[in-house]
Structures are given as C-alpha cells and as structure tokens.
Amino acid sequence: MDEGFIPYQQSLEDEEQSIKSTQSVIEQAIAWFRAHSMFVLAYGTGCGAIEMPPTFTSRYDIERLGVVGVATPRQADILIVSGYCSPKTLKRVIRSYEQMSEPKYIIGLGSCTINGGMYWDSYNTIKKLDDFLPVDMYVNGCMPRPEALIEGFVKLQEKIRANSSEAGYIQYRTRYAHYRANQERLFGTQVQPRYEENFAGMNL
C-alpha cells in the first residue's frame, strides 16, 4: 500500500514535520506553493521529448502533482533538458534558461545529459550538461519511462520544499564565471550576451 493519493499525502505530511524545524511558517507556505505549482517549459531537445507527452496526458497525468506545461520561458519554473544536446541546441537552451524568472530549476532527462550516453564519442553533442548549466535533478535511463520522470519531479519537490541555498539558480548566479568559462570554451566566438548583466543591481 504505497501507491495512491493517501500514502502520498501521508508522505507530504511526514516531510512537513522535518522541514518545520528549520523554516518559518511563511517560508514553509511559500515553499509548499512553489513545490506544487511547477510550470514546465514546453521545449524538448532530444528523443526524451517523446516521453513527455505521455507524462503530461491522461495515462500518467503529472498535473496531479501540479506540473503544467507553459509556452514561454518567462512563465516557466522548470526546464527539462530532454536528451542529447548539440552545441547549437545548447545555445538556445541557455538563452531559454536565462530568460526564465527565478526560482528556476533544471531537470536533466536521460543518460545523454549525464555523460553523453550513446553519443559519448559524437563530435556534435555535449557530454556533461552541468558544466554549462546548473542541473537540479538528473533522471537517468535511455530513455527514462514516464514513471522515472515523475519520480524525478517528486524528488525535485522535496528539494524545492527544503529551500536550500544549493539550488541551481543560486549556483548560476554565484558561480557564473565557472559556467561562463565553459560556455565560452565550447562556443568560441559565437557566445551569448553575459547573463550577469541581468542581476547587476541585485544584492547577492
């Protein structure tokens, strides 16, 4: 009896007890709302995009966890990098990620984002996504089934509710020089505008 809504609800309540000790009531409420309204940018880079329609539609119905697809990065909280990523695609992915408003999270879906997968010796795919962007959750497999993706979302919910300072978007601000150096090394002269101009006036 570990499936269905009631045990899921039970698990949420159990976690609430552990989180309560470190967060104020307001923080807990905000984190709870965040974790239960994850808007995913409707964007697929590789073959993993094939697994997303069944995840979102009636059979697996991830909307019961508050996960909805949105059409523009400005409204999105979560970017799923779904599979292999060529340098040309990565430029678009970075652009999309930088346009998203914070807090924002990245899920790396499939082996290709982790270590290149079956494209480990390809001249046109990147091997480590977290060199270029801060990844919050990896879902491995080739391809991961929708159940695996849902598991990834559940783990990400836990992470969001813990409201850690290790979250990817904070990493991307504080360690921007590291990510930028890797991007410049890969793209050469065709690099994006600098992201840090977006948060120049912010008190970090």
- Contacting positions for another protein (CB under 8 A): 86-88, 91, 114-116, 120-124, 126-128, 131, 186-190
Q: Closest distance between another protein and the C-beta of residue 83, in Å?
A: 16
What is the nearest approach in angstroms of another protein to the Cβ of residue 49?
Answer: 18
Residue 55 or residue 111: which is nearer to another protein going by CB? 111
**What's the gap between Cα 7 and its chain centre?**
26
CB nearer to another protein: pick between 72 and 115: 115
Gap between the Cα atoms of 107 and 28, Å rounded: 23
Taking the least distance from each CB to another protein, the nearer of 4 and 193 is: 193
Q: Least distance from C-beta 161 to another protein, angstroms? A: 28
Give me the least distance between CB of 123 and another protein, in Å please.
Answer: 5
**CB-nearer residue toward another protein: 130 or 158:** 130
